[in-house]
Amino acid sequence: MKITFLGHSCVLLESEKHKILIDPFITGNPVATLSADELKVDYVLLTHGHGDHVGDAFDIAKRSDALIIAPNELAVYAGWQGCRAHPMHIGGARMFDFGRVKLTPALHGSGYEVPGKQEIVYMGMPAGFLLNIEGLTIYHAGDTALFSDLKLIGEMNAIDLAFLPIGDNFTMGPEDALVAAGWLRPKRVVPVHYNTFPLVEQDGHAFVRALSSHKIEGIAMEPGDSITL
């Protein structure tokens, strides 16, 4: 599987037959290395309703005829915008043709700021994603604080790759993310949600070096970088 980091928390997963895009914040992302118009995918997964995660999801999904998978309220709203959408919620799992999706808790908020209006639409509970694709288990934590149920997620799943936020201010910082990694026990960790804006500036390489204390491989990816698992 090819995995490409597109900046902030946006990740593109390319399996043998499908392209799965998570939290496509491209337009307005100062570190993005491509435009949203370049992306054509089969599925768009959204962890929560903040603009820096929903991003270009509706436009990409409609142009690609991609299915949006998201927490219920956000999926319903996506449907109102003319997208095909599948609603899920925390603790629920479902098989799709590319693999299994399970929603995990995340401690954060989820309100969508309607473009051009001083209006925030409630988008339900934020989530993380546990994905089982082509024999790999991939965990995208979404935006979250450190919370003790991460231990349970690690105990119940043999995680091959975890995407963890380290930006602080809005999510876990590096110190808490290091604790989370120790609880989750993944084979590899990619830090996300940092260095997009001044409020979330962090040293991803220092975080990756610190992961060695847990005997976990860390990968500090720059926007546009890809790895293959």
Q: What is the mean pLDDT of residues 32-59?
A: 97
**Positions of E strands within 78-194:** 84-88, 93-96, 99-105, 111-113, 120-122, 127-133, 136-140, 161-165, 188-192
Q: How far is CA 175 from CA 138, 166, 207, in A?
A: 22, 8, 8
Mean pLDDT of 75-104: 98
- Average pLDDT, stretch 205-224? 96
Look at 226 and 116; give whichever has higher pLDDT: 226
Between 116 and 184, whose confidence is greater? Answer: 184
Per-residue pLDDT, averaged over 90-100, amounts to 98
For residue 91, being part of any structural domain is answered with yes
Q: If pLDDT is split at 50, 70 and 90, which confidence band does 84 have?
A: very high
Percentage of the residues of the chain whose pLDDT score is greater than 90:
98
CA dist 156 and 36 (Å) reads 36
pTM beyond cutoff 0.85: yes
For residue 94 the two structure tokens come to: 């479902």
Q: Is residue 102 part of a domain?
A: yes
Q: Is residue 226 in a domain?
A: no
Position 227 in a domain: no
| Domains of the chain: total | 1
Domain for residue 229, yes or no?
A: no
* pLDDT tens per residue across span 198-211: 999 999 999 999 99
Distance CA 58, CA 51 (A): 11
Range 14-40 average pLDDT: 96
CATH number at residue 81: 3.60.15.10
In terms of pLDDT, which residue wins out, 155 or 116?
155
For residue 27, the enclosing domain spans: 2-221
Q: Is the residue at 21 inside a domain? A: yes
Position 221 scores a pLDDT of: 98
Q: What pLDDT sits at residue 225? A: 98
